[in-house]
Chains A and B, each alone.
Chain A
């Protein structure tokens, strides 16, 4: 019987009892629950990682202007800017996360990881991690397996959907997946991996989903960049064994609790937050179709 990804505590216990690595338990889960095979899982994830790498390149090469005009080649501007605020690596990380997410906003091909709204975070972090540490694609795939396990638990205990849990559920979960994958790929222990997840969730808690004009553009694109930065920040903290204090399972619970109590105008409805600002409303008026037949309110049939 495989592990069913119901808690991080249970995941660690299972790994220790069965003497299995984190990615191995995810492989066993997929084989047992989805009648898959090791080969199919590896080839599928290699393909997904290939699409992520392509999205990073596409966004930095091709024109990325969204239909609304709100997204306008931001990744390229960041990538080519002469001044690096921290280091060239940081600049690349930010531009890559922007790049893959801009591809999503501009109707290009991406991997929803875990959702389309968060589709820049794993590409930005994994491509940059691989480059800096000279990791193989196989190692990155193991990291993605760890990320998938993390997301399975968050889905079970909280949510991955902005309409259910706000932005924390989408970009927050993606950042947690990335942080766990980074620590795993750099040889961290199970405790360090889970600690990175806990720290990341703590940093992303409470983020609302308030997209301007309801489009997956503002603030989604820049939040993918900041989430990528937070994933690295958390990994750096976790690898040094600085404790999150609140155990990871409890952090996930907090995320679920916050999501449940969030008002619906902060959950993808474009009724609150940035969407409800003066400028947000103006943009919404310009972007949305006005030539629309509005049916009269339904009256009950006689």
Chain B
């Protein structure tokens, strides 16, 4: 193990039971997803895959998802009643269970969220100990942990885009920890997912957003803050 554990991994984290992968991890997937959406959704379709498909009720993962969708933190005691709270708020929802999907990690959740006219699709995996991987965003490969500060940029697939974006981030003195780019087809849209050790200023995201070849920019600061 490269990183030594903390005292607070041994006595902690403080969390809502019953298990870190079924509650804390699930809450964090939803917290990441609403940041991709840009707010608390009006409608949500939640698909539980594989191991989650049969156990999500017993483990309370359905409540954990709604806790996260309403931006509750992983140790918020309201998570237990999150489904009722969501119903009161008029949030429309639907659950789906899919088993035997070999292309998905055992503990995968897909969220199709709608707020006003905006819709997003986010696929997250709960890896254990509350650690997550956001595998896909709107069909693009994403693979970010949401433990750092994340930028998701959908841009025209043009040459020099990666160098340009990374140099703008370098001006901010933000260190890039991981960066991945995926595209749906040649000369189509490319999706840049960049994880940074520190955050960046609003003016920088606004500048990037103003460029004509950048179609969409989503900035997700540390989701646990």
Contacts and interface: CB of A to CB of B under 8 A. Distances in A.
Nearest to A44: B8
A144 interface: yes
A298 B60 CA distance: 29
Contacts of A160: 10
B7 A109 contact: no
Interface stretch (B99-107, B181-189, B199-207): B99-107
Contacts of A147: 10-11
Given A152-B10, A291-B97, 15 more contacts: A4-B4, A33-B4, A33-B6, A48-B11, A68-B58, A104-B18, A105-B17, A106-B80, A109-B15, A112-B14, A116-B17, A151-B10, A215-B55, A216-B59, A289-B57
Interface string B94-130: 0011111111000000000000000000000000100
Choose among A106, A109, A152, A155 the residue with the greatest number of B CB atoms under 10 Å from its CB.
A109
B100 A144 contact: no
A26 B9 CA distance: 13
Contacts of B56: 289
Interface of A: 4, 26, 29-30, 33-34, 36, 41, 44-45, 47-48, 51, 67-68, 103-117, 119, 122, 144-145, 147-148, 151-152, 155, 160-161, 163, 177, 213-217, 287-298
B28 interface: no
B133 interface: no
A113 B11 contact: yes
B58 A215 contact: yes
A60 to B, nearest CB: 16
B79 A107 contact: yes
Choose among B15, B58, B98, B128 the residue with the greatest number of A CB atoms under 10 Å from its CB.
B58
A108 B16 contact: yes
Interface in B67-92: 75, 77, 79-80
Contacts of A291: 97
Interface string B11-33: 11111111110010000000000
Interface of B: 4-20, 23, 53-60, 63, 75, 77, 79-80, 96-103, 128
Given A30-B7, A148-B11, A288-B54, A108 B17 contact: yes
Contact of B58 (A51, A117, A287): A287
A89 to B, nearest CB: 24
A145 to B, nearest CB: 7
B12 to A, nearest CB: 6
A116 B54 contact: no
Contact of B7 (A41, A108, A112, A288): A41
A214 B100 CA distance: 17
14 contacts: A34-B4, A44-B8, A44-B12, A51-B14, A107-B17, A113-B12, A115-B20, A163-B128, A214-B59, A216-B18, A287-B58, A289-B97, A292-B99, A293-B97
Contact of B17 (A104, A151, A214): A104
A157 B9 CA distance: 16
A292 B14 contact: no
A292 B10 contact: no
A107 B63 contact: yes
Choose among B20, B55, B98, B99 the residue with the greatest number of A CB atoms under 10 Å from its CB.
B55
Nearest to A161: B128
A44 B100 CA distance: 42
B17 A292 contact: no
A169 to B, nearest CB: 13
A145 B10 CA distance: 9
In the A-B complex, the 7 residue pairs with the smallest Cβ-Cβ separation, listed nearest first, are A104-B17, A151-B10, A292-B97, A216-B18, A148-B10, A107-B80, A288-B54
A256 B53 CA distance: 32
A111 B8 CA distance: 10
A110 B15 CA distance: 6
Contacts of B96: 293
Nearest to B4: A33
Contacts of A217: 18
